[in-house]
Chains A and B, each alone.
Chain A
Amino acid sequence: AQSVSQHNHHVILSEAASLELGCNYSYGGTVNLFWYVQYPGQHLQLLLKYFSGDPLVKGIKGFEAEFIKSKFSFNLRKPSVQWSDTAEYFCAVAGRNTDKLIFGTGTRLQVFP
């Protein structure tokens, strides 16, 4: 069955600290991978996506993620977080031959000045 696991439920950082959020997926085929961000009180917005090609993808606001096929992982990184990055982050997976989009439980990030 298709599933996504996010290991960190709540992360607290100071500004300028580095960030890495874990994401592992389970799916018996080729996948498309996504990270979405949800700012307080808002809807989900796409941060970055991976469909094929270079496994290191860069998104908006300085975020990047690396697809490691052997580990079924798609971890999100940012070298230096800002207070404005405070939000909830969701990893999502869709099978390449299906459009069923499944989300992880989310990671709440709090960044303190």
Chain B
Amino acid sequence: DAGVIQSPRHEVTEMGQEVTLRCKPISGHNSLFWYRQTMMRGLELLIYFNNNVPIDDSGMPEDRFSAKMPNASFSTLKIQPSEPRDSAVYFCASSLVWENTEAFFGQGTRLTVV
């Protein structure tokens, strides 16, 4: 398996634009996590899904952020409209819950909003 795949790796966009980050989890994994990493706040859990259903989105900063998981092999994190303070590295991770396995991380998307 190629691991968790995120795209794009880097994204530079202007304030106010819509940004969509994509994630393909490891095949067979049933949990998917979106994290945001910044120097100031560290690694924050934004939302996680289990069997494609959002379980906890309490970490989503505000209504500008939304996440979907239409099927077991794909998830998106959308920011609309984007703001400079959204600049961060966004990581996606997947795991196989109930099987005592760890979460595997993607390479991350470095987002810069100018």
Contact = CB atoms under 8 A, between A and B. Distances in A.
A36 B102 CA distance: 10
B25 interface: no
Contact of B42 (A43, A51, A106): A106
Interface string B43-84: 101001010000110000000000000000000000000000
Contact of A43 (B48, B50, B91): B91
Nearest to A34: B102
A82 interface: no
Nearest to B41: A105
A105 B108 CA distance: 18
Interface residue tally on A, bucketed by range = 10 to 19
Interface in A53-102: 90, 99-102
A17 interface: no
A50 B67 CA distance: 30
A100 B48 contact: yes
B15 interface: no
A103 B105 contact: no
A105 B41 CA distance: 7
B43 A43 contact: no
Contact of A99 (B31, B35, B43, B104): B31
A108 B43 CA distance: 13
10 contacts: A36-B105, A42-B107, A44-B93, A45-B105, A99-B31, A99-B55, A99-B95, A101-B48, A103-B42, A105-B43
Interface of A: 32, 34, 36, 42-46, 49, 51, 90, 99-106
